[in-house]
């Protein structure tokens, strides 16, 4: 896997999880097992176990393996592994760029950026994604022709609570049922992850950027996307929007043509096949 860190330094790193996913998606036996593992039932059962007290034994080894600084989080006793996984960060630990011309990253993660063509289609690892099919709404998709898709991939060691990318009036959430493929890039060459996975999105109407779509995508072992405000309301940039339960997940932010300055650095790195590490509250796009 190819990455750029926050300072812009390039590095490569493969985890044991990456090696396992290669076997799962690229071998005959792996593909048989995959049909079972991506089903909502498996994610629900796994999610149920991770909510039980028995799962607490997994917490300390996970913290040690991933070098998580627990001093940044609210201090309390966890009832289960999922309770730990959805832990809340202390107030003041996250810095948000409050410039109204800055669209912020709603989450910690690894970001890639793609251009939407004249048909609002973008391509990831040879797979083409139509915004129309992702949103299940032709009229809304057409408005984003020529814009950008910012794809923020969260891994299990990231903070799994997310915020709003900008201020504005939020629409009601739309939930689209699906399966639970991993959001690791390894899967993109074998299936249309975003088109097939369970997802939920809203439209935020902002005075600077116009309409912005913020979409949460479920992944393997993510039993639920839990958003705080399901109806139409006013929201503030940096306010908590919701959280993912256990597992890797993705947030995609779509902006219209000319809504932000062309993100050339991110586009170039994405074409190289590299993701850029980003933290919640950092600039994702900037209005010229």
Per the annotation, the verdict on 249 as an active-site residue is yes
Phi/psi region, residue 129 (left: phi>0; alpha: psi -120 to 50; beta: rest), is: beta
Phi/psi region, residue 176 (left: phi>0; alpha: psi -120 to 50; beta: rest), is: beta
CA atoms within 13 A on the CB side of 267: 12
CA distances from 52 to 81, 111, 187, 188, 194 (A): 8, 32, 30, 32, 30
Q: Interior CA angle at 105 toward 99 and 106, to 5°?
A: 110
- Of 105, 108, 112, 167, catalytic: 108
Per the annotation, the verdict on 108 as an active-site residue is yes
CA distances from 135 to 119, 212, 254, 281 (A): 14, 13, 11, 25
Query: Are 221 and 198 in contact, with CB atoms under 8 Å apart?
Result: no
Distance CA 66, CA 234 (A): 37
Element (H, E) at 204: strand 199-206
State the catalytic residues.
Answer: 108, 249
């Amino acid at each position: 896997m190819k990455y750029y860190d926050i300072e812009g330094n390039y590095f490569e790193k493969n985890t044991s999880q990456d090696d396992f996913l290669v076997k799962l998606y690229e071998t005959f036996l792996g593909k048989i097992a995959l049909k079972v593992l991506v089903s909502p039932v498996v994610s629900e059962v796994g999610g149920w176990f991770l909510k039980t007290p028995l799962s607490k034994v997994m917490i300390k080894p996970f913290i040690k393996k991933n070098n998580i600084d627990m001093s940044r989080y609210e201090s309390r006793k966890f009832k289960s592994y999922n309770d730990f996984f959805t832990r809340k960060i202390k107030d003041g630990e996250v810095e948000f760029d409050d410039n109204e011309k800055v669209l912020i990253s709603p989450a910690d993660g690894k970001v890639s950026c793609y251009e939407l063509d004249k048909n609002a289609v973008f391509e990831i690892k040879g797979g083409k994604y139509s915004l129309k099919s992702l949103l299940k709404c032709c009229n809304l998709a057409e408005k984003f022709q020529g814009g950008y898709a910012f794809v923020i991939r969260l891994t299990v060691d990231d903070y799994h609570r997310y915020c709003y990318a900008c201020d504005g009036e939020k629409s009601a959430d739309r939930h689209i049922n699906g399966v639970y493929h991993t959001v690791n890039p390894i899967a993109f060459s074998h299936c249309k992850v975003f088109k097939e996975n369970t997802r939920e999105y809203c439209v935020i109407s902002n005075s600077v950027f116009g309409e912005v779509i913020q979409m949460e995508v479920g992944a393997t072992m993510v039993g639920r996307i839990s958003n705080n405000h399901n109806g139409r309301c006013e929201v503030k940039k940096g306010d908590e929007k919701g959280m993912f339960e256990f597992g890797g997940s993705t947030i995609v932010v779509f902006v219209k043509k000319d809504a932000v300055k062309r993100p050339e650095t991110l586009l170039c790195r994405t074409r190289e096949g590299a993701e850029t590490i980003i933290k919640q509250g950092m600039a994702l796009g900037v209005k010229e």
